Chain A
Amino acid sequence: MVRNLLVRGMLAGLAAAVLALVFAYIFGEPQVGAAISLEETMGHAAEAAVASAEPEPVSRGVQSTVGLATAIGLYGVAVGGVFALVFAFVYGRLGTFGARGTAALVAVGAFVTVELVPFLKYPANPPAVGDPETIGRRSALYFAIVAISVLLAVAAVYVGRRLASRHGNWNATLLAGAGLLAAVVVVSLLMPAIDEVPAGFPAALLWRFRLASIGTQAVLWGGIGLLFGALADRALAPHRRPVSTAVA
């Protein structure tokens, strides 16, 4: 069964990646292109000189099509596989939610913890934003907040399940959710801020790029949640035992 779910998760991830790719190509690529042409005219003059002296290993045409598709496709398959494994653990352990309901809940939870919380602290940046000297520190902080966010969410689910027996499902979920929100706010306040937007970089372009970025992720996670829910529902159908009202 786990193998079956894993295959379906990777397929759902790939299909959702196609949707995300269409979104990213339509809404994201114009912003990336605009930021790159800005990068060449303003700011990083020395860097641009070095870059133009070296031959570009990958052309813009490849980056914005095959490269983008490969990146989102691989990411979708990987995330879809992990999603299926998390689903396989959660299914049947989170109340009486069926396959589609569980998949939708896991997708919302994963989008918020893996993408939204890190994004609110360290939002996506277009080319020309960000000092190449600080890439190590920025990468470390980004992956750290992803890890912390996931750990806090897992802890909140655990605490919520423990509270459910005393306070009921609704209040336990509210309490655990409030605790998670407070913990995420505290972590975000404690972690160092990063602001490397160059002076004169158009605010509207930055806003559109970041909207396109979070939108791409929303399409990907939404697609995985809904597609995987439908696929898992079929896979798990014979595994559900009917319960008579007499027994229940």
Chain B
Amino acid sequence: MVHAAVPHSKPVPISIPVRDLVPWAVFAGVLALILIYFVGAEQGATSLISGNYVHEFVHDGRHLLGFPCH
């Protein structure tokens, strides 16, 4: 007996529904932007925390990742 559904061809990727994606995208997107802000810009052009400790700590990474540093 021959099965009609023998997998011969490449599997087809199934997309993930957008409504499953949106809550994660909003939450993780905001967190990621905050992280990137602290690595890339805090205590440079704008300052949320006074002083320059954050700037000095991530200084080398900020230069080498290509962000304007000072």
Residues of A within 8 A of B (CB): 1-3, 6, 24, 28-29, 32, 56-58, 62-64, 67-72, 74-75, 77-79, 81-82, 85, 88-89, 91-93, 96-99, 102, 115, 118-119, 122-127, 130, 132, 135-136, 138-140, 142-143, 209, 212-214, 216-217, 236, 239-248
Contacts and interface: CB of A to CB of B under 8 A. Distances in A.
Contact of A236 (B6, B13, B25): B13
A242 B5 contact: yes
Contacts of B1: none
Contacts, number: 191
Contacts of A78: 31-33, 35-36, 39
B9 to A, nearest CB: 5
Contact of A217 (B4, B20, B66): B66
Given A24-B64, A89-B21, A240 B39 contact: no
Interface in B16-30: 16, 18, 20-21, 24-25, 28-29
A33 to B, nearest CB: 9
Nearest to A71: B61
Given A63-B56, A63-B57, A74-B38, A85 B44 contact: no
Residues of A contacting B: mostly: helix
B12 A71 contact: no
Contact of B60 (A32, A89, A99): A32
